[in-house]
Amino acid sequence: MTIDRRRLLAAGVATGAAALAPRAALAQADAIFAPAPGAWRTFEVITRLEILMPEGATQAWIPLAGMNAPEWFQPKGSEWASNGKASALKSGGADILHVEWMADEQQPYVEIVSRMATRDRAVDLAKPGVVAPLSEAERKLYLSSTDLVPLDTYDVERALAALVELERPVRGVRIDSGDLATISRRVRAHLDAHGLATTIVTASGELDEYRIDELVCGDAPIDRFGVGKQLATPADAPALGAVMKLVEIDGPDCVRRPAKRSPGKVNVAGAKQVLRRFDASGQALGDRVVSRDAPAESDERALLEAVIEGGVRVRPLEPLTTARARAAEELRALPPAVRRLAVPERFPVRFEIEG
Protein backbone atom coordinates (compact mmCIF):
# COMPACT_ATOMS: atom_id res chain seq x y z
CA MET A 1 0.00 0.00 0.00
CA THR A 2 1.35 3.44 -0.95
CA ILE A 3 0.06 6.74 0.42
CA ASP A 4 1.42 10.25 0.59
CA ARG A 5 1.72 12.36 3.74
CA ARG A 6 -1.43 14.40 3.06
CA ARG A 7 -3.59 11.30 2.67
CA LEU A 8 -2.11 9.80 5.83
CA LEU A 9 -2.89 12.96 7.79
CA ALA A 10 -6.37 13.16 6.29
CA ALA A 11 -7.05 9.66 7.58
CA GLY A 12 -6.28 10.92 11.08
CA VAL A 13 -8.74 13.77 10.66
CA ALA A 14 -11.41 11.34 9.46
CA THR A 15 -10.88 9.34 12.63
CA GLY A 16 -11.33 12.46 14.75
CA ALA A 17 -14.48 13.35 12.84
CA ALA A 18 -16.13 10.24 14.28
CA ALA A 19 -16.82 12.35 17.37
CA LEU A 20 -19.34 14.31 15.26
CA ALA A 21 -21.18 11.24 14.00
CA PRO A 22 -24.86 10.65 14.89
CA ARG A 23 -25.52 9.08 18.28
CA ALA A 24 -26.78 5.80 16.76
CA ALA A 25 -23.64 5.42 14.70
CA LEU A 26 -21.50 6.02 17.77
CA ALA A 27 -23.42 3.44 19.73
CA GLN A 28 -22.75 0.92 16.98
CA ALA A 29 -19.06 1.87 16.98
CA ASP A 30 -18.89 1.25 20.74
CA ALA A 31 -20.38 -2.19 20.23
CA ILE A 32 -17.94 -3.33 17.56
CA PHE A 33 -14.72 -1.59 18.62
CA ALA A 34 -12.54 -4.41 19.94
CA PRO A 35 -8.94 -4.04 18.77
CA ALA A 36 -6.80 -7.17 18.87
CA PRO A 37 -3.44 -8.07 17.36
CA GLY A 38 -4.01 -8.95 13.71
CA ALA A 39 -2.34 -9.02 10.34
CA TRP A 40 0.52 -6.67 9.57
CA ARG A 41 -0.08 -3.86 7.04
CA THR A 42 2.77 -2.19 5.18
CA PHE A 43 2.75 1.50 4.19
CA GLU A 44 4.96 3.84 2.20
CA VAL A 45 5.07 7.51 3.20
CA ILE A 46 6.54 9.87 0.60
CA THR A 47 8.00 13.15 1.85
CA ARG A 48 9.23 15.73 -0.67
CA LEU A 49 11.06 18.87 0.42
CA GLU A 50 11.76 21.68 -2.05
CA ILE A 51 13.64 24.89 -1.25
CA LEU A 52 11.71 27.37 -3.37
CA MET A 53 13.93 30.44 -2.93
CA PRO A 54 17.44 29.27 -1.98
CA GLU A 55 19.90 31.88 -0.79
CA GLY A 56 23.39 30.45 -0.67
CA ALA A 57 24.36 27.09 0.74
CA THR A 58 21.40 25.33 2.38
CA GLN A 59 20.98 22.44 4.82
CA ALA A 60 17.99 20.44 6.00
CA TRP A 61 17.41 17.76 8.60
CA ILE A 62 14.42 15.47 7.94
CA PRO A 63 13.23 12.76 10.39
CA LEU A 64 13.09 9.21 9.06
CA ALA A 65 10.74 6.44 10.14
CA GLY A 66 12.76 4.89 12.95
CA MET A 67 10.33 4.09 15.77
CA ASN A 68 10.48 0.41 16.62
CA ALA A 69 7.79 -1.17 18.78
CA PRO A 70 8.01 -4.85 17.73
CA GLU A 71 4.47 -5.72 18.85
CA TRP A 72 2.70 -3.19 16.64
CA PHE A 73 5.05 -0.91 14.66
CA GLN A 74 8.19 -1.78 12.71
CA PRO A 75 10.29 0.45 10.43
CA LYS A 76 11.16 -1.14 7.08
CA GLY A 77 13.81 1.29 5.93
CA SER A 78 13.93 4.48 3.87
CA GLU A 79 15.43 5.50 0.56
CA TRP A 80 15.87 8.95 -0.94
CA ALA A 81 16.77 10.94 -4.02
CA SER A 82 18.22 14.45 -3.98
CA ASN A 83 20.41 16.87 -5.92
CA GLY A 84 22.30 17.57 -2.71
CA LYS A 85 24.66 15.59 -0.51
CA ALA A 86 22.50 13.37 1.72
CA SER A 87 23.57 11.20 4.64
CA ALA A 88 21.67 9.36 7.37
CA LEU A 89 22.62 9.94 10.98
CA LYS A 90 21.31 9.42 14.50
CA SER A 91 20.58 12.27 16.89
CA GLY A 92 19.23 11.64 20.37
CA GLY A 93 18.12 8.17 19.31
CA ALA A 94 16.20 9.48 16.28
CA ASP A 95 17.01 8.64 12.65
CA ILE A 96 17.67 11.83 10.66
CA LEU A 97 18.49 12.51 7.02
CA HIS A 98 20.92 15.41 6.70
CA VAL A 99 21.02 17.08 3.27
CA GLU A 100 23.43 19.81 2.11
CA TRP A 101 23.08 21.82 -1.10
CA MET A 102 25.79 23.92 -2.70
CA ALA A 103 25.27 27.68 -3.07
CA ASP A 104 24.91 27.39 -6.86
CA GLU A 105 22.05 24.85 -6.71
CA GLN A 106 18.97 26.64 -8.05
CA GLN A 107 16.28 24.05 -7.24
CA PRO A 108 17.27 22.09 -4.11
CA TYR A 109 15.05 19.12 -3.40
CA VAL A 110 14.96 15.79 -1.59
CA GLU A 111 12.34 13.06 -1.82
CA ILE A 112 12.18 10.35 0.84
CA VAL A 113 10.26 7.09 0.68
CA SER A 114 9.84 5.58 4.15
CA ARG A 115 8.36 2.13 4.63
CA MET A 116 6.79 0.83 7.80
CA ALA A 117 4.57 -2.01 9.00
CA THR A 118 1.86 -1.74 11.64
CA ARG A 119 -1.00 -3.76 13.03
CA ASP A 120 -3.81 -3.37 15.56
CA ARG A 121 -2.97 -3.68 19.23
CA ALA A 122 -5.04 -4.04 22.39
CA VAL A 123 -4.12 -2.52 25.77
CA ASP A 124 -6.24 -2.98 28.91
CA LEU A 125 -5.44 -0.04 31.19
CA ALA A 126 -7.33 -1.74 34.03
CA LYS A 127 -4.63 -4.41 34.22
CA PRO A 128 -1.02 -3.75 35.20
CA GLY A 129 1.28 -4.21 32.24
CA VAL A 130 4.67 -5.86 32.02
CA VAL A 131 7.44 -3.36 31.32
CA ALA A 132 10.75 -4.69 30.05
CA PRO A 133 13.74 -3.31 31.96
CA LEU A 134 15.90 -0.78 30.13
CA SER A 135 19.16 -2.00 28.66
CA GLU A 136 22.35 -0.17 29.62
CA ALA A 137 22.43 1.47 26.18
CA GLU A 138 18.81 2.68 26.56
CA ARG A 139 19.45 3.95 30.07
CA LYS A 140 22.50 5.88 28.89
CA LEU A 141 20.54 7.35 25.98
CA TYR A 142 17.58 8.51 28.07
CA LEU A 143 19.67 9.92 30.93
CA SER A 144 22.40 11.60 28.90
CA SER A 145 22.34 15.35 28.26
CA THR A 146 21.15 16.70 24.93
CA ASP A 147 23.21 18.70 22.44
CA LEU A 148 20.72 21.57 22.64
CA VAL A 149 20.13 22.84 26.17
CA PRO A 150 16.51 24.09 26.57
CA LEU A 151 16.75 27.50 28.24
CA ASP A 152 13.10 28.36 28.78
CA THR A 153 11.96 25.14 30.43
CA TYR A 154 11.73 27.16 33.65
CA ASP A 155 13.69 30.43 33.50
CA VAL A 156 16.00 31.76 30.76
CA GLU A 157 18.19 33.93 32.99
CA ARG A 158 18.83 31.20 35.55
CA ALA A 159 19.48 28.66 32.80
CA LEU A 160 22.11 30.95 31.22
CA ALA A 161 23.80 31.44 34.58
CA ALA A 162 23.90 27.68 35.10
CA LEU A 163 25.48 27.19 31.65
CA VAL A 164 28.30 29.58 32.50
CA GLU A 165 28.94 27.73 35.76
CA LEU A 166 29.53 24.50 33.82
CA GLU A 167 32.83 25.98 32.56
CA ARG A 168 32.82 23.77 29.47
CA PRO A 169 31.80 24.19 25.83
CA VAL A 170 28.09 23.94 25.06
CA ARG A 171 27.14 22.96 21.52
CA GLY A 172 23.81 24.76 21.46
CA VAL A 173 20.84 26.20 23.32
CA ARG A 174 17.15 26.30 22.46
CA ILE A 175 14.43 28.88 23.12
CA ASP A 176 10.82 27.92 22.57
CA SER A 177 8.57 30.68 23.89
CA GLY A 178 8.12 34.40 24.39
CA ASP A 179 9.50 37.15 22.14
CA LEU A 180 12.04 35.04 20.22
CA ALA A 181 13.74 38.07 18.62
CA THR A 182 14.33 39.86 21.93
CA ILE A 183 15.23 36.76 23.89
CA SER A 184 17.65 35.52 21.21
CA ARG A 185 19.54 38.83 21.31
CA ARG A 186 19.80 38.64 25.07
CA VAL A 187 20.93 35.01 24.93
CA ARG A 188 23.51 35.68 22.18
CA ALA A 189 24.99 38.62 24.08
CA HIS A 190 25.23 36.59 27.29
CA LEU A 191 26.89 33.62 25.56
CA ASP A 192 29.42 35.83 23.75
CA ALA A 193 30.27 37.71 26.95
CA HIS A 194 31.12 34.46 28.74
CA GLY A 195 33.30 32.79 26.12
CA LEU A 196 30.56 30.75 24.41
CA ALA A 197 30.70 32.45 21.01
CA THR A 198 30.58 29.11 19.16
CA THR A 199 27.40 27.99 20.93
CA ILE A 200 24.53 27.96 18.42
CA VAL A 201 21.06 29.33 19.17
CA THR A 202 18.03 27.33 18.02
CA ALA A 203 14.47 28.67 18.14
CA SER A 204 11.21 26.72 17.96
CA GLY A 205 7.58 27.06 18.97
CA GLU A 206 4.69 27.37 16.47
CA LEU A 207 7.08 28.52 13.74
CA ASP A 208 6.16 28.68 10.06
CA GLU A 209 7.79 30.25 6.99
CA TYR A 210 6.26 33.66 7.70
CA ARG A 211 7.47 33.83 11.30
CA ILE A 212 10.93 32.58 10.31
CA ASP A 213 11.15 35.19 7.55
CA GLU A 214 10.16 37.88 10.04
CA LEU A 215 12.91 36.80 12.45
CA VAL A 216 15.55 36.56 9.71
CA CYS A 217 14.66 39.96 8.25
CA GLY A 218 14.79 41.40 11.77
CA ASP A 219 18.38 40.13 12.17
CA ALA A 220 17.52 37.96 15.15
CA PRO A 221 20.74 36.09 16.09
CA ILE A 222 19.21 32.64 15.58
CA ASP A 223 21.29 29.95 13.89
CA ARG A 224 18.65 27.24 13.45
CA PHE A 225 14.87 26.99 13.43
CA GLY A 226 12.89 23.99 14.62
CA VAL A 227 9.62 23.48 12.76
CA GLY A 228 7.24 20.73 13.87
CA LYS A 229 3.48 21.07 13.63
CA GLN A 230 3.49 23.48 10.70
CA LEU A 231 5.67 21.08 8.70
CA ALA A 232 3.85 17.87 9.57
CA THR A 233 0.24 19.08 9.30
CA PRO A 234 -1.31 20.80 6.24
CA ALA A 235 -3.80 23.63 6.71
CA ASP A 236 -6.73 21.43 5.63
CA ALA A 237 -5.84 18.77 8.23
CA PRO A 238 -5.12 20.95 11.28
CA ALA A 239 -3.76 19.71 14.60
CA LEU A 240 -4.97 20.61 18.07
CA GLY A 241 -2.07 21.89 20.15
CA ALA A 242 -1.84 20.73 23.77
CA VAL A 243 0.58 21.35 26.60
CA MET A 244 1.21 19.15 29.64
CA LYS A 245 3.04 20.57 32.65
CA LEU A 246 4.60 18.80 35.61
CA VAL A 247 3.37 20.69 38.70
CA GLU A 248 3.98 18.29 41.60
CA ILE A 249 6.43 15.45 42.27
CA ASP A 250 6.01 13.03 45.17
CA GLY A 251 9.58 12.24 46.18
CA PRO A 252 10.80 9.74 48.78
CA ASP A 253 11.58 12.51 51.28
CA CYS A 254 9.46 15.47 50.24
CA VAL A 255 6.95 16.83 47.72
CA ARG A 256 8.39 19.15 45.05
CA ARG A 257 6.22 21.67 43.23
CA PRO A 258 8.06 22.96 40.13
CA ALA A 259 6.86 26.17 38.49
CA LYS A 260 7.80 27.76 35.17
CA ARG A 261 8.61 31.44 34.81
CA SER A 262 9.34 31.55 31.06
CA PRO A 263 7.37 34.16 29.06
CA GLY A 264 4.18 32.64 27.75
CA LYS A 265 4.65 29.48 29.84
CA VAL A 266 4.19 30.73 33.40
CA ASN A 267 2.29 28.22 35.50
CA VAL A 268 1.20 27.84 39.12
CA ALA A 269 2.91 25.03 41.00
CA GLY A 270 1.12 22.30 42.92
CA ALA A 271 -1.76 19.88 42.26
CA LYS A 272 -5.06 21.66 41.75
CA GLN A 273 -8.81 21.25 41.59
CA VAL A 274 -11.34 23.28 39.59
CA LEU A 275 -14.63 24.01 41.36
CA ARG A 276 -17.52 25.19 39.15
CA ARG A 277 -20.43 27.12 40.67
CA PHE A 278 -24.00 26.68 39.36
CA ASP A 279 -27.25 28.56 39.93
CA ALA A 280 -30.56 26.93 40.82
CA SER A 281 -31.38 26.30 37.14
CA GLY A 282 -28.09 24.49 36.52
CA GLN A 283 -26.33 27.27 34.58
CA ALA A 284 -22.61 27.57 35.23
CA LEU A 285 -21.62 30.86 36.88
CA GLY A 286 -17.84 30.61 37.22
CA ASP A 287 -14.83 28.54 38.24
CA ARG A 288 -12.43 28.62 41.16
CA VAL A 289 -8.94 27.12 40.76
CA VAL A 290 -7.91 25.90 44.19
CA SER A 291 -5.48 23.45 45.77
CA ARG A 292 -6.31 19.79 45.26
CA ASP A 293 -7.82 19.19 48.71
CA ALA A 294 -9.76 22.47 49.06
CA PRO A 295 -13.42 21.90 50.04
CA ALA A 296 -16.24 22.78 47.65
CA GLU A 297 -19.12 25.07 48.54
CA SER A 298 -22.69 23.75 48.46
CA ASP A 299 -23.34 25.24 44.99
CA GLU A 300 -20.05 24.01 43.49
CA ARG A 301 -18.97 20.80 41.79
CA ALA A 302 -15.41 19.51 41.34
CA LEU A 303 -14.49 19.11 37.65
CA LEU A 304 -11.29 17.05 37.94
CA GLU A 305 -11.56 13.34 38.73
CA ALA A 306 -8.77 10.80 39.04
CA VAL A 307 -8.71 8.17 36.29
CA ILE A 308 -5.37 6.43 36.89
CA GLU A 309 -3.42 6.38 40.15
CA GLY A 310 -0.15 4.55 40.62
CA GLY A 311 -0.53 3.04 37.15
CA VAL A 312 -3.90 1.49 38.04
CA ARG A 313 -7.28 2.58 36.63
CA VAL A 314 -9.49 3.82 39.46
CA ARG A 315 -12.47 4.87 37.32
CA PRO A 316 -14.35 2.44 35.07
CA LEU A 317 -13.86 2.75 31.33
CA GLU A 318 -16.90 4.44 29.80
CA PRO A 319 -18.16 4.24 26.20
CA LEU A 320 -17.65 7.10 23.78
CA THR A 321 -21.38 7.87 23.76
CA THR A 322 -21.28 8.59 27.53
CA ALA A 323 -18.33 10.95 27.16
CA ARG A 324 -20.03 12.68 24.23
CA ALA A 325 -23.28 13.16 26.17
CA ARG A 326 -21.41 14.58 29.17
CA ALA A 327 -19.50 17.04 26.96
CA ALA A 328 -22.78 18.22 25.40
CA GLU A 329 -24.36 18.66 28.83
CA GLU A 330 -21.38 20.69 30.11
CA LEU A 331 -21.54 22.87 26.99
CA ARG A 332 -25.27 23.55 27.46
CA ALA A 333 -24.61 24.63 31.06
CA LEU A 334 -22.39 27.52 29.93
CA PRO A 335 -24.09 30.93 29.54
CA PRO A 336 -25.19 31.69 25.96
CA ALA A 337 -22.97 34.78 25.86
CA VAL A 338 -19.95 32.57 26.52
CA ARG A 339 -20.92 30.01 23.86
CA ARG A 340 -21.57 32.44 20.99
CA LEU A 341 -19.03 32.45 18.15
CA ALA A 342 -18.91 36.23 17.58
CA VAL A 343 -17.30 38.24 20.39
CA PRO A 344 -17.97 35.72 23.18
CA GLU A 345 -17.83 36.81 26.80
CA ARG A 346 -15.03 35.46 28.99
CA PHE A 347 -16.14 32.80 31.46
CA PRO A 348 -15.22 33.93 35.01
CA VAL A 349 -12.25 32.02 36.44
CA ARG A 350 -10.70 32.98 39.76
CA PHE A 351 -7.36 31.66 41.08
CA GLU A 352 -7.29 31.01 44.80
CA ILE A 353 -3.93 29.26 44.88
CA GLU A 354 -0.56 30.96 45.10
CA GLY A 355 2.25 30.19 42.64
pLDDT tens digits, the chain, 355 residues: what are they? Answer: 444 444 444 444 343 443 334 444 444 444 455 667 788 999 999 999 999 888 889 999 888 887 788 888 898 999 999 999 999 988 767 889 999 999 999 999 999 999 999 998 877 766 767 777 888 888 887 777 777 888 876 688 888 888 888 777 888 999 988 899 999 999 999 999 998 999 999 999 889 888 999 999 999 999 999 888 777 776 666 666 667 778 888 877 888 888 777 666 677 888 899 999 999 999 999 999 999 889 999 999 999 998 888 778 898 888 889 989 999 999 999 999 999 988 999 999 999 986 5
Residue 69 zone, left/alpha/beta (φ > 0; ψ -120 to 50; rest) = beta
Cβ count near 345 (within 10 Å): 12
Cβ count near 199 (within 10 Å): 20
Instruction: Give the pLDDT confidence score for residue 69 in this predicted structure.
Output: 83
Residues 153, 175 contacting (CB under 8 angstroms)? no
Instruction: Give the pLDDT confidence score for residue 178 in this predicted structure.
Output: 85
Instruction: Give the pLDDT confidence score for residue 212 in this predicted structure.
Output: 92
Write the DSSP string, 178-218.
S-HHHHHHHHHHHHHHTT-TT-EEEEESS--HHHHHHHHHT
Q: Is 224 exposed, middle or buried (0-12, 13-18, 19+ CB in 10 A)?
A: middle
What is the distance between the alpha carbons of residues 310 and 234, in angstroms, rounded to a whole number? 38
The sign of the dihedral angle between the CA atoms of 33, 38, 43, 45 is positive
Q: What domains can you pick out in the chain, each with its CATH number? A: 145-235 (3.20.20.70), 268-351 (no CATH)
Q: What is the pTM of this model?
A: 0.53
List CB contacts of 252: < 8 A, sequence separation 6 or more.
Answer: none
Burial 165-178 (b: 16+ CB within 10 A, else e): eeeeebeebbbbbb
